[in-house]
Amino acid sequence: MSKDFYEWGKEKRRLHESATWKTFYEQEIWWCSLGINIGYEEDGKHDQYERPVLIIKKFNRDILWVLPLTHAPKNNKYYYKLSAGIEQDSSVILSQIRLISSKRLKRFMYKISLQQFNEIIGLVKGLLPH
């Protein structure tokens, strides 16, 4: 599969130079410009290289940890199937945690339940070495 890193580079520069700030919180799912990535890292799609992400940690107004979502059905310890909301046919990809700039956030989608969020955080912690 061919990846157009040149076009993503132009979009990435535009994002970097943008001065828009968004108010966001943990537990929320947003459309996010993840871009074109290397190997099996989850890519964004379409002309703005977007993908839904779950915000799992807000460090400040500029930096956050996110987990991307996928529609690809997977049933293993690296995926968590969402049970409600707009993206109920989606799974959170637990193994693809990313630190991103809030400038990558595009549009708010919805907020997941606290119960689902706590389950996801527990599963992510379980993937870390002890």
How sure is the predictor about 19, in pLDDT bands with cuts at 50, 70 and 90? low
What are the b/e assignments for 67-106, b being 16+ CB within 10 Å?
A: bbbbeeeeeeeebbebeeeebeebbbbbebebebebbbbb
Altogether, the residues listed in the chain come to a count of 130
Structure tokens at 123: 């599963």
In the chain, what are the domains? Answer: 5-127 (2.30.30.110)
CB 85 within 8 A of CB 110: yes
- Per-residue pLDDT tens digits for 101-129: 998 899 999 999 999 999 999 999 999 99
Give the pLDDT confidence score for residue 69 in this predicted structure: 93
- Answering whether pTM is above 0.85, one says no
